[in-house]
Chains A and B, each alone.
Chain A
């Protein structure tokens, strides 16, 4: 419908949720994929089949099921590595979500057990983030600054919702820069190459919160310029409970372990341990086995459709939405109003109406699911002087008809509060 090769109706048939109705016979209009995406049969069936027929613990059981489970789990790592262009499968660390991935990284700095100068940090050293970050890319760095006495600095955000990139925020004292690849509120795609080049120029490391980019755009970690990339399975048609930290092998090898436990060790004595090589050094305890396998099925599914095609579809939707929302009086888009360096997430305010009231009526009357609130990015909302926004976020299964439903809903909301 939006392009000749991209058949959104066919794609929607893969997602069972779109065949259901909401109470009172309302159709479901799901515009909350930036929060969490829906799941296709391919993922659901892969997980069901593994649980039903192949399930066992991984990496230790010496039997058929153990081998099948390990093969499927490690096979998922191969699939994810291929999906993001990782030079080595060992660079893909499974975590429970992007937050854990970012915390793992933050806890690698300033650890007394570590001697590698790239991960030492203390008073006078600097951590650089941005004002548009999700709380999961703010709080771990605040905690690191508190633990170590390092200084937390950040890039601002322009009125248009772009990163206010000032290379001088990064200095010789900067140890780590961590920013969003794509903002979960503004939709803005940040100039990673420039920031990464500047970080490397001063000897700092750079991490990306790619939770909102990896699901929607072709991402090749070896071409991005970043040292670490964090993302999560549930936003990319995979299950919750599985996330990924990708890092350059040399860095991951130099980092101290994060969580201690089974599977992350090489040998243990009563007074000390040696650790497994990466990736297992960072995967203590029984991992989310079926969730990882589900993520493997998710990346297979996305790769088969093609991230270029998904990106193009979302671009069409975003253009359509920005145009349609312009017709709504009193609506203010928080974020870029052009398609340049922007993804399929549109946040806005409606004059005189609180987002919680907008979301309630959209859902109740039209079955339109949006997210309302600060979207775990409170500092960004403070920057714009607003307590909350309404956010519509699109994915490969979103249609222009659903955006029409949103706009109709917004007109109705305005009638209720007129």
Chain B
């Protein structure tokens, strides 16, 4: 029953009670990413303040519990951190997700996002977990332009 362990309590909690959901002003960049194979989509905005501090990550989207919970966790982790810090979290999260379940997660870096470790064993679902995180990375790059 490895698949069911994918649905960690923390993921279900974020799915049922998403943090920071909704698109807000002001923002520096807005992106829209879709997963064409399953139709999941997300619109995500970032607002970056002085010294590269992330003031807000706001989003709206639709999709499975994994994709929606990942956006909620991202919001919590990113808001209040610096661009540099969050990009290293994105890199670690990506490494974990693409590790086919063979990669040991760095809980220090990932915090709550470590709950998604079980998703990495399901190649078909990795895209779900990464959707909002890739959108965030894209938005941060655009906000600096």
Contact = CB atoms under 8 A, between A and B. Distances in A.
Contact of B38 (A356, A363, A364, A416): A356
Given A360-B3, A361-B7, A364-B2, A387 B128 contact: no
B65 interface: yes
B6 interface: yes
A339 B15 CA distance: 37
Taking residues whose C-beta sits less than 8 angstroms from the other chain, chain B's interface range is 20 to 34
A137 B139 CA distance: 37
Interface in A1-39: 24
Q: Binding site of A, secondary structure by majority: helix, strand, loop or mixed? A: helix
A356 B15 CA distance: 14
Given A374-B39, A378-B39, A417-B12, A357 B64 contact: yes
B39 A365 contact: no
B122 interface: yes
Contacts of A378: 39
A360 B123 CA distance: 12
B126 to A, nearest CB: 12
A417 B2 contact: no
A75 interface: no
Interface string A353-372: 11111001101110000000
A386 B128 CA distance: 18
Contacts, number: 50
Interface residues of A, number: 19
Given A373-B39, A374-B39, A356 B4 contact: no
A410 interface: no
A388 interface: yes
A388 B1 contact: no
B39 A364 contact: no
Interface in A379-400: 381, 387-388
B125 interface: yes
Contacts of B15: 417
A163 B16 CA distance: 37
B63 interface: yes
Nearest to A382: B39
A416 B15 CA distance: 12
A357 B37 CA distance: 15
B2 A360 contact: no
A416 to B, nearest CB: 6
B62 interface: yes
Contacts of B64: 354-357
Interface string B50-92: 0000000000001111100000000000000000000000000
A360 B128 CA distance: 13
Interface string A397-417: 000000000000000000011
A24 B1 contact: yes
Contact of A354 (B1, B6, B37, B63): B63
A360 B39 contact: no
The 6 closest A-B pairs by CB, nearest first: A364-B3, A356-B64, A354-B64, A387-B39, A357-B65, A357-B64
Interface of A: 24, 353-357, 360-361, 363-365, 373-374, 378, 381, 387-388, 416-417
6 contacts: A354-B64, A356-B64, A356-B125, A360-B125, A364-B4, A373-B39
